[in-house]
Structure 1
Amino acid sequence: MIKRALSRMAAAGAVAALIGFTAASPAMADDEGPLWYGNRGTVTFNDDGDDITVCDKLADGYGVTGYLERLNSSGTGLVWVIKEDDGGDAGCDRSDNGYDMIGNISHGLAICWNGSGSCVRSDWYFDE
């Protein structure tokens, strides 16, 4: 009886640990986003093509810049692997640079308003 109860508790603990590990893992990339900078604009990662779409949503005289980022090789800073601007015209702009993010390197999105202020960043994720 005690063995059975301990066995059930161990199994429940293993399941809880697996759920916790899965929840803490970076997300797998499909399309990610859109990531919003308030009402000023968005950036979206497009899994089909491994590129980003940036949309300026506010006619305020400034555009927005979207980035696909990853950590540098030492893990101490960010590297912009894709940068795309949008502003001053109708519609959105989509990057086309041939970057392939497949692998186990975490990436994230960022969007910056070309006026002033800090950028908005997404959670980290990686491609399958």
Structure 2
Amino acid sequence: MTNEKEVLIIDDDSRNIFALSAVLKAKKFQCISAMNAGDGLKILSSNKNIGVVLMDMMMPEMDGYEAIAKMKSNEALKDIPVIAITAQAMAGDREKCLEAGADGYISKPVDVNELMKLLNLLID
């Protein structure tokens, strides 16, 4: 299955970006990435081909919660699905991410099958 839409990975750890990109490219997804939320939001504003965002929730400067809030309050970005990805897999984290506006939630280490199910569900 080839997807026309791109996946934007926003994560401050290049190892996470590398791992996620490798998995997604093997599944025929086109990937682009940003090392921080500010750069990610700039990419979203300029690239109209983003189908879904994989958002690390714990980043310096602007965390995923703030970045999702900015996306959801922007008319041009509010309908782009966001999958929250976090290593902070504690009780209540899933609900907190979904309440913040995420459309899906996955804890690290990422379960590839779970990620693929979410992507196929969210990308039209």
Q: TM bucket by the smaller chain?
A: under 0.3
Write 1 or 2 for the structure with the bigger share of strand: 1
TM-score by length of 2: 0.24
Relative contact order, higher structure (CA 8 A, sep 6+): 1
User: Which one has the largest radius of gyration?
Assistant: 1
